[in-house]
Homo-oligomer: A and B are copies of this chain.
Amino acid sequence: MPPPANFRSIKADLLARIQGGEWPPGGRLPDEIALAGSYGVARTTVARAMRELVDDGLIERRRRAGTRVRTAPVRQARFEIPLVRDEITELGAAYRYQLLGSAITGAPTWVAARMGLPAGAPVRHVLCLHFADDAPYQFEDRWVSLDSVPDAARADFETSGPNEWLVSKLPFSNVEIDFLAIMADPAQARHLDCDAGAALFCIERRTEWEGRSLTFVRLAYRPGHRMTTRY
């Protein structure tokens, strides 16, 4: 006798049958009532299993038309973006932080444009470096709007990075992330211990809250860094 069916086991079974070819791409699955009967569960339980398969991009459902296997499954990747500290300790390496420099200044035009601020708006600019086992791992170039986050003027970034300070300080906010490749400029090369011109994987992140830019950061990883995921 099979173990009592729950939505997880039903989801797994449906997935296996799709992957096994029982319902080919474009093919139609039985409706909820039929499946509920065959699994011996309530219709709601089948519905939950199928809803998760929709979220996973494997099937499509339309009223009256039924449930079909997607012909081209939605290829989507999901990344977690942890704090650098966690990213490094999860690699099994020791985390170390170093402040390279900090200043209160007017936003240069490219930063102002990126943050949607007037040029010259007051910002706290921080340069710092994150190490994994004493090897440079990530170079951080951070700009914080002092109009939106005035406390950043007095924050001390000597012992821990601005990201950790901001996370504890800021409300939940909207974030825009870009992933790109850049050529190491001389400063990045010096701090990341590589040649100028090396290809670096780079994350740019802009954080806003209620329409106001809070912070913009450019994170340049050491050469060879990869961001990996599965689906």
**Which of these, B75, B79, B178, B199, contacts A183 with CB under 8 Å?**
B199
**Closest residue of B by beta carbon distance from A198:** B183
Give the residues in chain B near A175, CB-CB below 8 Å: 75, 230-231
Interface size classification for chain A: 35 or more
Q: Tell me which residues from 75 to 115 in chain A have a Cβ below 8 Å from any Cβ of chain B.
A: 75-83
Q: Tell me which residues from 36 to 91 in chain A have a Cβ below 8 Å from any Cβ of chain B.
A: 58, 71-83
**Integer count of this chain's copies in the complex:** 2
Q: Given that A77-B81, A199-B199, A199-B200 are contacting pairs, would A58 and B172 also be in contact in the complex, using a CB cutoff of 8 Å?
A: yes
A80 to B176, CA, bound (A): 15
Q: Could you tell me the distance in whole angstroms from the C-beta of A82 to the nearest C-beta in chain B?
A: 7
When the two chains form their complex, are residues A174 and B80 in contact, meaning their CB atoms are under 8 A apart? no
A81 to B78, CA, bound (A): 11
Give the residues in chain B near A228, CB-CB below 8 Å: 176-179
Write the A1-20 contact mask toward B (1 if CB under 8 angstroms, else 0). Answer: 00000000000000000110
When the two chains form their complex, are residues A178 and B231 in contact, meaning their CB atoms are under 8 A apart? no
Q: Is A187 an interface position by the 8 A CB rule?
A: no
16 A-B contacts, Cβ less than 8 Å apart? A18-B172, A19-B172, A19-B173, A71-B168, A74-B80, A75-B82, A75-B175, A76-B79, A77-B81, A174-B231, A176-B228, A178-B226, A179-B179, A179-B201, A179-B228, A180-B201
Not counting A177-B231, A199-B199, a sample of 7 additional A-B residue pairs whose C-beta atoms are within 8 angstroms of each other reads A25-B168, A75-B175, A76-B81, A176-B230, A179-B201, A181-B223, A181-B225
